[in-house]
Each structure stands twice: as C-alpha cells, then as structure tokens.
C-alpha cells in the first residue's frame, strides 16, 4: 500500500475531495478539502503541491508528499 505523509492511504486524501472534477486548480482542491473537514496537515500538504493544475486524482496522489523509508 502506498504511504503518504499525514495520511494512511490515497483514499484518506481523496475522501475530502468528493466534489472535485479534474482537471482541477490547486486552489480549488485546497478549498474543497477545507470545506469537507480535512485536517490542517492534509490541507497544508495540498497547498504545497508543486503544480497549479492537476489533471487527475492519480496525478494529485503522485504529487502529494510520500513517506520515506
């Protein structure tokens, strides 16, 4: 299972983004996460994503910080 910083799995991030349609702007993703009750650590990590627009949920998860072994 893929391990992300501040979360157990990709589903833990995506559950706060049920209303996002991709492609999506980073600001829209961050605002959606806040509206849907995401913890501050997840909102903070989303706001640090390097891309200003993400083409898919898969791209978002790939860009989200990952745990290092």
pLDDT tens-place string over residues 13-68: 999 999 999 999 999 999 999 999 999 999 999 999 998 999 999 999 999 988 76
Residues 33 and 7 sit within 8 Å (Cβ to Cβ): no
Classify residue 27: in a domain, yes or no: yes
Classify residue 68: in a domain, yes or no: no
Classify residue 56: in a domain, yes or no: yes
Residue 60: CB atoms within 10 Å = 22
**Exposed, middle or buried, 65 (CB in 10 Å: 0-12/13-18/19+)?**
middle
Residue-number span of the structural domain to which 23 is assigned: 12-63
Classify residue 3: in a domain, yes or no: no
Classify residue 45: in a domain, yes or no: yes
- Cα angle vertex 32, ends 29, 35, to 5°? 155
Classify residue 33: in a domain, yes or no: yes
Q: How many domains does the chain have?
A: 1
Classify residue 5: in a domain, yes or no: no
> What pTM was computed for the model?
0.88
Classify residue 1: in a domain, yes or no: no
More confident residue, 24 or 8: 24
Residues 24 and 31 sit within 8 Å (Cβ to Cβ): no
């Amino acid at each position: 299972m893929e391990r992300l910083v501040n979360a157990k799995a990709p589903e833990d991030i995506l559950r706060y983004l049920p209303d996002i349609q991709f492609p999506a702007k980073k600001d829209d993703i961050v605002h959606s996460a806040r509206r849907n009750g995401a913890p501050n650590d997840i909102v903070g990590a989303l706001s640090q994503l390097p891309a200003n627009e993400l083409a898919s949920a898969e791209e978002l998860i790939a860009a989200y910080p990952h745990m290092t072994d």
